[in-house]
Structure 1
Amino acid sequence: MNILITGGAGFLGRGLATALLARGQLGGRSITRLMLADLVGPRDPTLTQDARVHSHVGDLLASVPALMAQPWDAVFHLASAVSGECESNFDLGLHANLDSTRALLDACRAQTAAGHAPPLFFFSSSVAVFGSDPALPLPAVVQDHTLPTPQSSYGIHKFVCEQLVADYTRKGFIDGRAARLMTVSVRPGQPNGAASGFLSGLFREPLAGQPSNCPVGLDTEVALSSPANTVAGILAVAEASREAFGGRTAINLPALTVSVRDMLQALENLAGPEPLSLIGYTPDAAIAKIVAAWPSRFESRRTAALGLQADPDFTSVLHQYVQDHAEAVTHPGALERLGLV
């Protein structure tokens, strides 16, 4: 089986690639080739030293002709300009999100027209497709049937691409699956331009002895998922039958609802008060406005039918980060409590 992952060098792409290689198969078919496409190449030895792994470096839209010169059995489209970037650079968002997705879909369509089986096409959408519109206020709990009304350019891009994936699936060009990812926390690595970035930075930086800032009120509630739970959701959606997936509309992945205050309490419980002393509380009206427009509570029967569940609590999410990225944690208390020193 030949698989392409766009955004393959990002933390989520790396996690998905690592999981696929460890399994050795997708949907019962052995993986023979895994292409990771991104603006940079992978650095993880688990990926670079595996003969099944190949990489392509470059702008995705410009790279589509070269990437799609051979047929793919599955495409996981994770690459995207993030929320804050799309608000500050409108053209970048259109280029990286809408134009690149359309080009990939048309290349898959051409592959099918040439006589190949329609490829599995997984599209990573986002909770940002939801918002509160004056004509259609956001309900307290988002259900499977809740109509998306995006309130940001990023959310608009994701919703438009969801509909394209649905229509290309209806036409038989692809076997499309779109899943709305919750905010993923705790993200490893460097900060990015996402409005939700602070939901990782509040923990990643203090655990490494670095300052961080909380730009929203402490009682702000958010919908989160750990990296491992997110990857598990992506794989479950990709391997579900069309009947089990249930139609062509995007599915909401599981969400842990938690307040920023409770997240910080979990950090103190894990590592003591010292990391909290590195956190500032300077409001950022732009970020607060974007985050406040996102829903924080979800109820999805479709998700439950696939056997997916939310992370139990944010303490378990923090434990996962410290265990998986102990090299990035300098705070001895957190490592000692988990038996890592």
Structure 2
Amino acid sequence: MHILILGAAGMVGRKLLARLVQDGQLGGTPISRLTLHDVVAPEAPAGLRAPVSLSASDFSLPGEAERLVSGRPDVIFHLAAIVSGEAEADFDKGYRINLDGTRRLFDAVRAIGEGYCPRLVFTSSLAVFGAPMPEVIGDEYLTAPLTSYGTQKAIGELLLSDYTRRGIFDGIGIRLPTICVRPGKPNKAASGFFSGIIREPLAGQEAVLPVPDSVRHWHASPRAAVGFLLHAATIEGARLGDRRNLTMPGVSVTVAEQIEALRRIAGDAVVARIRREPDPTIERIVAGWPRAFDARRARELGFTAELDFDSIIRAHIEDELGGRIAA
């Protein structure tokens, strides 16, 4: 099996790659080739007995998507994107990468023609929903984004459904919860503080909280995100029918509940490293985001996630901190 990962140098891409290398197979089929791409050079994995191609470029440029799919990958993981805060701050860049790049990728698959129909897994976002919203959003609720990022992802979902209907590829779009706790350094995502108020205090550093404690949001761990991607790549298309975009399961908690989970696991001294510093721009963006979901369809199709925020914190401590918390 030949697998292409777009966005392979990102956090989720790296964790997905590590799992694929560990397993050596996907859905019972051995991995025969990996093509890894990002805007910066991905690192070659160790331990996989199969050819690996590394590539760094702007995949939205003419000819790049065609080059990437020329090897006719069997599975394409499309993780590449400009994140929410950056897409809102840089209108042109957001649309060029998140919309034009996605369309170029889809059309590159189409250009190969009859006889080629890969599974294409597209990472969408909860930002496709916009206020006013019910407290819990079900599978039938409409997408009505209120940010440029959400709009770009919603258009990607529609394109994926139509290209799948036309038999160009076998697509599935997964709306990821906010991935928490994200390891490494903060990125430009407006949601970054959700991870920051856990990650930095556990590492012995101060964290800034830019929104009120009452803000509620939908979360899943990096572990769960990798599980979503693997299941999306292997689930039978017939089970999905014509509705190819799914909201993934997660945990709905307020910022206050996040902090209390951190207190239960790490104690008062760690929580004291959180400093409140309101940011009206972040508050405005987050106010338009959904708070909780009834992801019944995804669960019935076999997608799974943590059941509480304590489990999300413990996964971070185990996977990223070697089980240790900074004093």
Q: TM-score range by the shorter chain?
A: over 0.9
2:9 matched to which residue of 1?
Answer: 9
Match of 2:310 among 306, 315, 318: 315
Gaps of 5+ in 1: 333-341
Q: Which TM-score applies when normalising by structure 1?
A: 0.90
Distance 1:323 1:231 in 2: 16
Matches within 5 A, 1:16-35: 16-35=16-35
Structure 1 residue 50 corresponds to structure 2 residue 48: yes
Matches within 5 A, 1:58-97: 58-62=57-61, 63-97=64-98
- Deviations 1:159-182 (Å, cap 9, x if unpaired)? 000000111111110101111111
Q: For structure 1, which segment, 82-91 or 238-247, has the greater mean C-alpha deviation from structure 2 after superposition?
A: 238-247
User: SS at the partner of 1:79?
Assistant: coil
- Deviations 1:104-158 (Å, cap 9, x if unpaired)? 00111112x1x433011110000010011xxxx3122111110010010000000
Deviation at 1:68, TM superposition (A): 2.3
User: SS at the partner of 2:34?
Assistant: strand
Deviation at 1:54, TM superposition (A): 2.8
Deviation at 1:312, TM superposition (A): 1.6
Distance 2:325 2:252 in 1: 28
Q: Is the Cα–Cα contact under 8 Å of residues 208 and 328 in structure 1 kept in the other structure?
A: no
Q: For structure 1, which segment, 65-74 or 197-206, has the greater mean C-alpha deviation from structure 2 after superposition?
A: 65-74
Q: Is the Cα–Cα contact under 8 Å of residues 215 and 281 in structure 1 kept in the other structure?
A: yes
Matches within 5 A, 1:111-150: 111=112, 113=113, 115-132=114-131, 137-150=132-145
Percent of paired sites with the same residue? 41
Distance 1:259 1:77 in 2: 30
1:338 matched to which residue of 2?
Answer: none
1:271 matched to which residue of 2?
Answer: 266
Q: Is the Cα–Cα contact under 8 Å of residues 42 and 55 in structure 2 kept in the other structure?
A: no
Deviation at 1:189, TM superposition (A): 0.8
Matched residue type, 2:88: E
Structure 1 residue 240 corresponds to structure 2 residue 235: yes
Deviation at 1:22, TM superposition (A): 2.3
Deviation at 1:311, TM superposition (A): 0.9
1:297 matched to which residue of 2?
Answer: 292
Q: Is the Cα–Cα contact under 8 Å of residues 208 and 329 in structure 1 kept in the other structure?
A: no
Q: Is the Cα–Cα contact under 8 Å of residues 176 and 248 in structure 1 kept in the other structure?
A: no
Q: Is the Cα–Cα contact under 8 Å of residues 72 and 116 in structure 2 kept in the other structure?
A: no
Q: Is the Cα–Cα contact under 8 Å of residues 42 and 48 in structure 1 kept in the other structure?
A: no
Q: Which TM-score applies when normalising by structure 2?
A: 0.94
Deviation at 1:330, TM superposition (A): 5.7
Q: Is the Cα–Cα contact under 8 Å of residues 71 and 116 in structure 1 kept in the other structure?
A: no
Q: Is the Cα–Cα contact under 8 Å of residues 216 and 291 in structure 2 kept in the other structure?
A: yes
Q: Is the Cα–Cα contact under 8 Å of residues 250 and 307 in structure 2 kept in the other structure?
A: no
Q: For structure 1, which segment, 33-42 or 149-158, has the greater mean C-alpha deviation from structure 2 after superposition?
A: 33-42
Matched residue type, 1:192: N
Matched residue type, 1:236: H
Q: Is the Cα–Cα contact under 8 Å of residues 254 and 303 in structure 1 kept in the other structure?
A: yes
Q: Is the Cα–Cα contact under 8 Å of residues 157 and 245 in structure 2 kept in the other structure?
A: yes
Matched residue type, 1:50: L
Distance 1:328 1:101 in 2: 39
1:335 matched to which residue of 2?
Answer: none
User: SS at the partner of 1:144?
Assistant: coil
- Deviations 1:232-269 (Å, cap 9, x if unpaired)? 12222221112222323410100200111111111122
Q: For structure 1, which segment, 276-285 or 63-72, has the greater mean C-alpha deviation from structure 2 after superposition?
A: 63-72
Deviation at 1:284, TM superposition (A): 1.0
Match of 1:196 among 191, 197, 202: 191
Deviation at 1:48, TM superposition (A): 4.2
Distance 1:330 1:145 in 2: 42
Matched residue type, 2:294: E
1:339 matched to which residue of 2?
Answer: none
Deviation at 1:14, TM superposition (A): 1.1
User: SS at the partner of 1:22?
Assistant: helix
1:208 matched to which residue of 2?
Answer: 203
Q: For structure 1, which segment, 122-131 or 16-25, has the greater mean C-alpha deviation from structure 2 after superposition?
A: 16-25
Distance 2:5 2:286 in 1: 28
1:259 matched to which residue of 2?
Answer: 254
Query: What RMSD in Å do the two structures reach over aligned CA positions?
Result: 1.7
Matched residue type, 1:37: H
